[in-house]
Structure 1
Amino acid sequence: MSTAKLRLGPLPKSEPVKLTVILSAELKTTLDRYAALHAQTYGERVDAVTLVPYMLEAFMARDRGFRGSTAKRRTGS
């Protein structure tokens, strides 16, 4: 196992919903490299398609503007 610290940790199990997106070739290559590093770090082979939902979830969870907007909607402000 690698000692690299990745923002995206081991993947939890979940129920998938299909969504189609179009990426640039450069972004796909970068995602593939991330997937390879993730597999090396956590010892479980994973592809970019599997990682993308977790990356998006982590991104939105850390986005202060989005979190603030979501909290305001819940309280009715």
Structure 2
Amino acid sequence: MAKLKLGAIADAKPVKLLWICQQIVHRDLAVYADLLARETGQSIPDPAKLVAPMLARFMATDRAFAKARRKSQPAQGKG
């Protein structure tokens, strides 16, 4: 089996977010949660818990986003 892009899910302070998705996306999240549970040995009873780590991973690997984010932040350490 190929290694999944997500690893064990960190237990971080949650922020409530209302998120609505298509049924197919929810079904795929449930399948992903099952596969990830088998790979990591970590139970994931709610597939919605995958949304935040998936988005974080996506944004962390999006070069255009990183570049735009750097440009929008003020320079630090200068002055």
Higher helix share: 1
Q: TM-score, normalised by structure 2?
A: 0.86
Q: Distance in 1 between matches of 2:34 and 2:11?
A: 19
How many residue pairs get aligned? The number is 74
Which runs of 5 or more residues in structure 2 are unaligned?
none
Q: Which residue of 1 aligns with 2:52?
A: 53
Q: TM-score, normalised by structure 1?
A: 0.88
**4+ runs deviating over 3 angstroms:** none
* C-alpha RMSD over aligned residues: 1.3
CA contact (8 A) 1:32 1:48 kept: yes
CA contact (8 A) 1:4 1:41 kept: no
